[in-house]
Amino acid sequence: MAREVRLPQLGQTMEEGTVVNILVKVGDEVNKGDVIFEIETDKATLEMESPAEGFVKYVLAELDETLTVGAPLLVLGGEDEDVPQSFVDSLKADTSAAEAAPARQADTAVAAAAAEPIKAAGKVLASPRAKKLAQELGVDLAAVAGTGPGGKITEQDVKEAGAAKPAKEAAPTEAKPGATVPVNRLQKITAEKMLKSKREIPCFYLTVKADMTDLVELRTQLNKSGDVKLSYNDFIIKAVATGLEKYPIMTGQLDGEVIRLADSINVGLAISVPDGLVAPILKDVNKKDVKQIALDSQALVEKARNNKLAPTDIEGGCITVSNLGAFGIDNFIPIVVPGQCSIMGIGQITDTCVPDDSNILVRKLMNMTLSVDHKVANGAYAAQFLDFVRKLLEDKSTFGDW
């Protein structure tokens, strides 16, 4: 029996998605769980799996088309099943009825123009991929005629416009004095979140110096003999997770008259990617050793830099660790991620002269700055948490018997 496959909600806050890749065609056989589309949301590009098995009878979605959650994407049926056109027409009618009035008017205009390319008036209507490609090729979207639904500019429209331009004009915008630099999707999302944080989260800030001398030696030894390369972040994340177990209020969020504690201890890791910064979440960190944390971190870094993070990879964090030590930064004050209680900023490890009785020792010290939501935790409680994490990092027995 024929059944439609609709766009699912691939994340808790997802309302719409753009089809950036169609992996099946009419006549293909698909099994439940096969990847059939790649969908771009405002957070990540996600693989969509088929919810059922069957043969593809109709593909209703188009490349670069932005659809709301629940919109029909394709029709599955039996191998020899004849799916009536009336069934497909009913799905298309449902989709049309759900669209906003401006979209319906645009579709009418397209039909009246006999499907000729339309140039959207006023605001430029283009798919996310088309916008990104236009930025890379230096194509002015305002000068591109869109051939998609309602005059929407597709990726192919941009490619053709770019091919028609002289090569010297296709260079991306350079950051020169007086120039304007386009803001990409990730930068916009980051800006919105950070503004929300500054407006709604009253923070206080705590800084301590951790003596990393013994841990530096331990990491060096482990990386010489082990099969998994460990970063300082792996040890820090483990210590933070252990600290959250002892000081659970640091996992909380204010919810009316109560502080609601997290169900599990999940730690975000700030990662630099070509378009900006993301902070995917390491799950159940308190239940894992440093080696497993390293493997999970490496997998998340790979997914982040290949734009393959799923919504579940960036949801549910209690705290985030942001390490700028590799850039020569000694100390900085990070901004709390909305939905989390705190964030820890890590500076570089530096050789520092430390008095010891009548002697002077050279020790490897590292600054840690904790930004805390004062709605959730008070200064004394957060200070105890930070001091506990510091002591864990200074005692290499924290990380097991190697």
Residues annotated as catalytic are: 374
Q: 3-class SS at 21?
A: strand
Secondary-structure percent of the chain, ordered helix, strand, coil, rounded to 5: 35, 25, 35
The residues that bridge with 35 in the sheet, in sequence order, are 49
Q: 3-class SS at 163?
A: helix
Which stretches of 119-212 are DSSP H helices? 128-137, 155-163, 185-200
Say which residues have a Cβ less than 8 Å from residue 210's Cβ, sequence separation at least 6. Answer: 365, 366, 367, 368, 390, 393, 394
Residue 216 CB coordination number (10 Å): 17
Q: Is the dihedral of CA 307, 311, 313, 316 positive or negative?
A: positive
CA distance 206 to 385: 11
- Distance from CA of residue 388 to its chain's centroid? 30
CA distance 33 to 326: 41
Sheet holding 72-77, edge to edge: 3-6, 72-77, 54-59, 29-30
